[in-house]
């Protein structure tokens, strides 16, 4: 059961990344740079599995660098893997040590340049529009540290690009741990490049010697560097636009400037930096408020909050309200327990165990403590909780339910209605306490389920 869910989550996340960033268009031929290692095995296998759904074709290309005596073994593995999985396979070879010597360049630099040159030639010969490489979030962190060590500006801190010309990197949003979990759960074999352990190579030294030290300082170092890279890309995007002659740019409307204004406003009031996750929440709420007449609130560190309406925000010190707490505008739900004002929301692949903190009654699903199973396959992208909005409706039990009318019918106190979490995915509402589950994600069988537990926190221990 767990194997299916790990595979599904990985391939769903990959699908979302590709569609959200428009990496692969319908009808495209994608050539995967296939070394046979875990990263490229996971990329090739996953792309093959989702290719029919997204209407593109997948082929593979293996480059023998002529560095290792085991290179022929890797070539045989790559060829056999593709044959077994019915994937078109191509290969090429280069004598990197000799070319490196001739050019007077290092092995790493030469291998990279020649590899891309050979891949481009192969792509052209087989008419593949795109080349997909298996760079991941860890690779990005190592690249950023490498660039900093050499001396760099914003471009270097931006790390690896998701797309450059015809080269795409769909796994950049995945950690190495996620990739290993996927490879293991799918029972995929792979080959290991022995040179990856050789710390005489700079990148390997960073991976095996430097990164573990950073990991001791903060285990989230890889994800934090990735967020830094995303911010740097945002800033360089604006600077590049401004640098173009004759380019008219509305600076104040650029996401980079908006993010900095939010951070600066918070610093002026609190004297502290605001994390990117909070900045992104405010930006998202501001965007959503343009289509809503409702005033939204986002809690910020240090007893501050962002008050949002009509596409604008204001950061203020939290004051005593008529309601007992600020009403969150939007909270992205992570695996496990999440707080939403005075409510708690659990999502997970496995049913939560009954505890004092999680005391549900499976027979009663429309009260303050609810456990339900949603159809995993039908959840669209991320799951989040938000407060209700004007004219909120969704189909439940074959009826188009108006949330406001349902709350009135159930005699829910007015001051409580805006506090109740409305659970949504990217397509809309999927569950509302006191009302029920949206038909489009309802399932009778929990075989492939996303478990959702919603409770009013004051009814249990916090």
- Quick: pLDDT tens for 14-48: 999 999 889 999 999 999 999 999 999 999 999 99
pLDDT tens digit sequence for 320-341? 444 444 556 678 888 888 888 7
Strands 422-425 vs 428-432: parallel, antiparallel or unpaired = antiparallel
pLDDT score for 346: 86
pLDDT average, residue stretch 285-301:
76
pLDDT band at 460 (very low <50, low <70, confident <90, very high): very low
pLDDT band at 391 (very low <50, low <70, confident <90, very high): confident
Q: How far is CA 68 from CA 94, 102, 105, 231, in A?
A: 12, 19, 18, 39
pLDDT score for 301: 80
Superfamily of domain 2-228: HUPs (3.40.50.620)
pLDDT at residue 146 above 60?
Answer: yes
pLDDT score for 293: 66
Residue predicted with more confidence, 55 or 366: 55
Give the three-class secondary structure for 409.
Answer: helix
User: What is the spatial distance between Cα 271 and Cα 57, in angstroms, rounded to a whole number?
Assistant: 52
Please, is 205 exposed, middle or buried when counting C-beta atoms within 10 Å of its C-beta (0-12, 13-18, 19+)? middle
pLDDT score for 342: 77
- Strand residues in 274-403 grouped as ranges (E): 296-300, 304-309, 312-317, 330-332, 336-340, 343-348, 369-375, 384-386, 393-396, 399-402
pLDDT tens digit sequence for 216-271? 999 889 999 999 998 898 888 888 888 776 666 676 778 788 888 888 888 888 88
Give the three-class secondary structure for 83.
Answer: helix
Contacts of 412 (CB under 8 A, 6+ apart): 420, 434
| Helical ranges in 244-352 per DSSP H | 255-270, 276-289
Reference 34, options 107, 90, 110, 85; nearest CA is 90
| Domain parsing of the chain, residue ranges | 2-228, 253-317, 330-459
pLDDT score for 343: 84
pLDDT at residue 361 above 50?
Answer: no
Which of the listed ranges 173-177, 252-256, 286-290 does the model predict with the highest average pLDDT? 173-177
CB-CB contact of 299 with 350 (8 Å):
no
pLDDT band at 107 (very low <50, low <70, confident <90, very high): confident
How many CA atoms lie within 13 Å of 251's alpha carbon, on the beta-carbon side?
7
Answering whether pTM is above 0.85, one says no
Which of 293-307, 386-400, 417-431 is least confident? 293-307
Residue predicted with more confidence, 61 or 240: 61
User: What is the spatial distance between Cα 455 and Cα 431, in angstroms, rounded to a whole number?
Assistant: 13
């Amino acid at each position: 059961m767990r194997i299916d869910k790990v595979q599904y989550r990985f391939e769903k996340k990959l699908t979302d990344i590709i569609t959200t960033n428009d990496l692969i268009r319908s009808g495209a031929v994608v050539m995967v740079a296939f070394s046979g290692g875990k990263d490229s095995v996971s990329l090739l296998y996953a792309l093959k599995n989702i290719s029919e759904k997204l209407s593109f074709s997948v082929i593979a290309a293996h480059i023998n660098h002529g560095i290792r005596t085991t290179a022929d073994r890797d070539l045989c593995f790559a060829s056999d893997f593709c044959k077994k999985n019915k994937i078109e396979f191509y290969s090429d070879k280069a004598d990197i040590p000799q070319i490196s010597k001739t050019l007077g360049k290092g092995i790493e630099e030469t291998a990279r340049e020649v590899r891309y040159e050979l891949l481009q030639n192969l792509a052209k010969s087989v008419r593949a529009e795109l080349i997909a490489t298996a760079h991941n979030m860890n690779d990005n962190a190592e690249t950023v540290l490498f660039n900093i060590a050499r001396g760099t500006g914003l471009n270097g801190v931006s790390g690896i690009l998701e797309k450059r010309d015809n080269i795409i990197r769909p796994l950049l949003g995945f950690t190495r741990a996620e990739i290993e979990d996927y490879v293991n759960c799918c029972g995929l074999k792979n080959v290991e490049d022995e040179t990856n352990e050789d710390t005489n190579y700079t990148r390997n030294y960073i991976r095996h010697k430097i990164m573990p030290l950073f990991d001791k300082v903060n285990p989230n170092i890889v994800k934090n560097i990735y967020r830094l890279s995303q911010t740097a890309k945002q800033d360089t995007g604006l600077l590049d636009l401004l640098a173009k002659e004759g380019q008219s740019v509305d600076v104040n409307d650029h996401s980079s400037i908006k993010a900095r204004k939010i951070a600066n406003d918070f610093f002026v009031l609190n004297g502290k930096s605001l994390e990117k996750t909070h900045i992104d929440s405010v930006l998202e709420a501001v965007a959503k408020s343009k289509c809503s007449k409702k005033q939204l609130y986002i809690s910020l560190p240090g007893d501050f909050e962002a008050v949002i309406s009509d596409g604008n925000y204001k950061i203020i010190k939290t004051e005593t309200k008529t309601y007992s707490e600020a009403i969150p505008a939007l909270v992205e739900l992570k695996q496990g327990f999440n707080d939403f004002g005075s409510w708690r929301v659990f999502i997970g692949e496995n049913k939560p165990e009954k505890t004092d903190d999680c005391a549900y009654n499976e027979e009663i699903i429309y009260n303050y403590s609810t456990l339900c199973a949603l159809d995993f396959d039908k959840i669209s992208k991320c799951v989040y909780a938000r407060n209700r909005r004007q004219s909120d409706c969704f189909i439940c039990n074959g009826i188009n339910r108006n949330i406001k009318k349902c709350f009135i019918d159930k005699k829910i106190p007015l001051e409580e209605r805006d506090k109740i979490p409305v659970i949504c995915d990217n397509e809309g509402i999927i569950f509302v306490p006191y009302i029920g589950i949206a038909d489009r994600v309802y399932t009778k069988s929990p075989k492939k389920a996303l478990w959702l537990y919603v409770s009013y926190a004051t009814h249990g221990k916090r």
